[in-house]
Amino acid sequence: MMEGYWSLILYGIGGILATSVGLLVAFQEKLIYVPVVPGLTKSYPITPARLRLLYEDVWLRSSDGVKLHAWFIKLAPDSRGPTIVFFQENAGNIAHRLEMVRIMLQRLQCNVFMLSYRGYGASDGFPSQEGIINDSQAALDHLIQRTDIDKSRLVVFGSSKGPKVLNRFVRSPWSTIDVVGQIKQPILFLSGLRDEMVPPTHMQMLYAKAAAHNRSCQFVDFPNGMHMDTWISGGDHYWRTIQSFLEENVPEKDE
């Protein structure tokens, strides 16, 4: 499964966006992975078509044979803008993030690849740490092979559990604090100061660790941001911050 591509991406990816990052320790998989939110079903309540988004259903095989589903949502058929690899939080499925992604496309003029981890949404299997690492590898393998995107403008976006998938860059388990200092790509930390699930000091610790080894790190906090709604409460400032980060680190190429 093209193992070398993670090394390629490690040194070539445009940037990493980390939101609501915590020092999560894996107590029990049932506590960490919640593909079905109580009161809801495992299936997608809506698809990108409901929001009139241009998208493709993508089916992948993880290295251990698990069948995975993803949505590749394009800004336009011929869009060569940055492609954001969207790693979701631990609860629910990618359909629950579509409103955020709709705004992301509009504000950032980007494409978005939304992966359903194993056991989530339409993907087969059961979620596990090693399994989700394999799934993230499959997603990057797929994108590297596409011919309709600019592969030099890939950006990883992780929220809550999502940033822990980035640890695959350095072949490590979920302990983000242990490896964040090894990441050489530009990193933007977006922190909600009213996070009710993960103390904001955890994000500050991660930033300090990363910035000690990487000059291309930025930290921006949002006074009213909670664990799941910083992209809403942060308003225009939230999206302008990401836009500036992209313009600086994955600029549009001159024709």
42 within a domain of the structure (yes/no): yes
pLDDT number for residue 180: 76
Compute how many other C-beta atoms are within 10 angstroms of the C-beta atom of residue 243: 14
pLDDT digits (tens, 9 = 90+) for 103-113: 999 999 999 99
Segments forming the whole domain that contains residue 178: 4-249
Compute how many other C-beta atoms are within 10 angstroms of the C-beta atom of residue 170: 14
69 within a domain of the structure (yes/no): yes
254 within a domain of the structure (yes/no): no
Instruction: Please count the structural domains in the chain.
Output: 1
> How confident is residue 255, by pLDDT bands cut at 50, 70 and 90?
low
255 within a domain of the structure (yes/no): no
Say which CATH number the domain at 79 has. 3.40.50.1820
20 within a domain of the structure (yes/no): yes
pLDDT at 163 over 50: no
At 139, which helix (H) or strand (E)?
Answer: helix 129-145
Going by C-alpha positions, the residue among 248, 176, 178, 177 that lies closest to residue 218 is 248
Please report, rounded to a whole number, the percentage of residues in the chain having pLDDT higher than 90: 44
Could you tell me which residue, 46 or 90, shows the higher pLDDT? Answer: 46
At 104, which helix (H) or strand (E)?
Answer: helix 98-108
82 within a domain of the structure (yes/no): yes
DSSP state at residue 136: H
14 within a domain of the structure (yes/no): yes
